[in-house]
């Protein structure tokens, strides 16, 4: 790739604004990526994939009210809301950095009548606003992992591990798992 003012560069990463994603995930995101993040059938299929993991299926099917699921980088809450409708006794917590998407998630939770078992709050996956060992399942979906530098990504994994209960389950989806 060639950038006229820089000439040929080995990597674009040094030229990308730090924490670029803080500005990227807003109303425009839904317009540009809406063909995949706003299609109920895609969300349904992704949630089916999560439930298809045997350990996740066993956990959620118990329907115990003490079960807590953390949806990191939850965006507009599509996975939490879908799963909360299926598992009304399970408590879902979504964390995201986008005020716009969180407001939309809260609105949709009310529309879908799952506001009693879904909570959305602003937060950074590198500093999860939760106590140690507080979640049975942590999900990080939608290619949300890998937006930080290497240290930030490592810190995100440490934080997910910190908030997971012993024996808890951590699910990440990423299109290029070999890159990770």
Domains assigned to the chain: 20-172 (3.40.50.150)
CB neighbour list of residue 25: distance below 8 Å, 6 or more residues apart: 75, 96, 97, 98, 100, 101
Question: What pLDDT, on the 0 to 100 scale, is given for residue 17?
Answer: 63
Q: Do 120 and 94 form a contact (C-beta atoms < 8 A)?
A: yes
Residue 9's alpha-carbon distances to 2, 4, 33, in angstroms, are 7, 10, 28
Which regions of the chain are under pLDDT 50?
31
Which residue(s) pair with 96 in the sheet? Answer: 122
Which residue(s) pair with 2 in the sheet? Answer: 8
Question: What pLDDT, on the 0 to 100 scale, is given for residue 36?
Answer: 55
Three-state SS string over 95-146 comes to EECCHHHHHHHHHHHHHCCCCCCEEEEECECCECCCCCCCEEEEEECCCCCC
Question: What pLDDT, on the 0 to 100 scale, is given for residue 42?
Answer: 86
Cβ of 119: how many Cβ atoms within 10 Å? Answer: 15
Question: What pLDDT, on the 0 to 100 scale, is given for residue 156?
Answer: 80
Share of the chain above pLDDT 90, in %: 51
């Amino acid at each position: 790739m060639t950038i006229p003012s820089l000439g040929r560069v080995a990597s674009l990463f040094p030229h990308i604004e730090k924490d670029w994603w803080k500005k990227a995930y807003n109303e425009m995101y839904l317009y540009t990526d809406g063909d995949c993040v706003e299609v109920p059938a895609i969300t349904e299929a992704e949630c089916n994939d999560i439930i298809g993991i045997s350990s996740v299926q066993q956990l959620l099917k118990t329907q115990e009210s003490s079960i807590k699921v953390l949806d990191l980088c939850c965006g507009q809450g599509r996975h939490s809301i879908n799963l909360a409708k299926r598992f009304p006794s399970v408590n879902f917590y979504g964390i995201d950095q986008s005020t716009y998407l969180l407001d939309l998630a809260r609105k949709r939770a009310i529309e879908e009548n799952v506001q009693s078992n879904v909570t959305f709050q602003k937060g950074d996956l590198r500093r999860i606003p939760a106590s140690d060992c507080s979640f049975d399942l942590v999900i990080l979906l939608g290619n949300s992992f890998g937006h930080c530098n290497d240290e930030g990504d490592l810190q995100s994994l440490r934080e997910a591990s910190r908030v997971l209960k012993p024996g808890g389950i951590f699910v990440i989806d990423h299109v290029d798992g070999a890159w990770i």
